[in-house]
Amino acid sequence: MRIILLGTGTPNPSLKRMSSGYLVETEQDILLFDHGPGAFHRLMESGIDPVRITYLFFSHLHYDHCLDYARLVLTRWEQGAGKIPELKVYGPSYVETMTTGLFGEGGVFDPDLTARTQLEPSIQTYISRGGTPPRKRPMPQVEAIQDGYVVEEKKWRVEVIEVPHGQPHLESFGFRLDTPEGSFAYSGDAGYSEAFVRLIQGCDVLVHMCHYISGTEPGPEWIKGSAGHMEAARIAHEGKARNLVISHIPDQMDLPGVRERLISEMSQIFKGNIFWGEDLIEIPVTDPQPLKHTG
């Protein structure tokens, strides 16, 4: 099991931190959780071929969590040449509308998809990649999820829970993935909820969003729908996580010295391992180990 952070930033444009995206490679499949702007670029930098991605989970549809969806789908389709299965996508019900709006007849990419499936040079390219005409359009297999939804495959299982963030305009979810090799939980964007704490009990890795230094939030409504560093620490503590990964990191706290102070404050509450998320780092499901001293 490999867990790679593809995007640890916010909607703010940043070359250091792309927007939200996380990759989990299991024995059976490669799963993505969210795919915000820049996450696809990091996916390529990770060395993992996009055609190998089989499942995508959306926590919610703020654009910093889904803007690279089209790029993933179209690249898989183009490079996969009809030889790979359609991407399986789980997310809020509006993902169905988004998907047909992007890839369906009359959708955003209709002229391109019509050209690539009808014009002879494009069909020849398709054949050169191993495809067999007629060429079909991409159409991800989308399933709408709700609170309590479970996706069960042979060697992994994902449980979904609704989390407080952006309601009533958004449906927002957190996830727990269990595999024989370890467990992974992801908050999506969310404030504290007892239900999420119950879901993540004893997980190996918890990726939790962090959107401000606790105590500096502009108003009380912020705490309901997103977490500061101390809320993330409390959730990891009550959820008995082994490793806490802080992600969705705003500029406010992403400074040398400030970062270390915040980790120190979090460690007063949460006694497990704390990772300050960085794009492209890999998170172990066991305890991190220092390298042998070589002088």
Residue ranges binding Zn ion (CB under 5 A): 62, 189
CB closer to Zn ion out of 29 and 217:
217
CB of 92 to Zn ion, least distance (A): 12
Q: Could you give the C-alpha distances from 258 to 183, 198, 237, 263, in angstroms and in order? A: 30, 31, 22, 9
CB closer to Zn ion out of 66 and 283:
66
The CA distance from 192 to 203, in Å, is 17
The label of the residue with tokens 């992600």 reads 247
CB closer to Zn ion out of 65 and 234:
65
Residue 195 gets the label, from left (phi > 0), alpha (psi -120 to 50) or beta, of alpha
CB of 238 to Zn ion, least distance (A): 22
CB closer to Zn ion out of 62 and 116:
62
CB of 206 to Zn ion, least distance (A): 18
CB closer to Zn ion out of 109 and 222:
222
CB closer to Zn ion out of 66 and 102:
66
In the beta sheet, which residues pair with residue 209? 247
**How many Cα atoms sit within 13 Å of 181 on the Cβ side?**
13
CB of 208 to Zn ion, least distance (A): 13
CB of 68 to Zn ion, least distance (A): 15
- What's the first-to-final CA gap in the chain, in angstroms? 32
Structure tokens at 286: 């066991």
SS (H, E, C) 174-232: EEEEEECCEEEEECCCCCCCHHHHHHCCCCCEEEEECCECCCCCCCHHHHHHCCEHHHH
| Contact in structure between 199 and 184 (CB atoms under 8 Å) | no
CB of 89 to Zn ion, least distance (A): 18
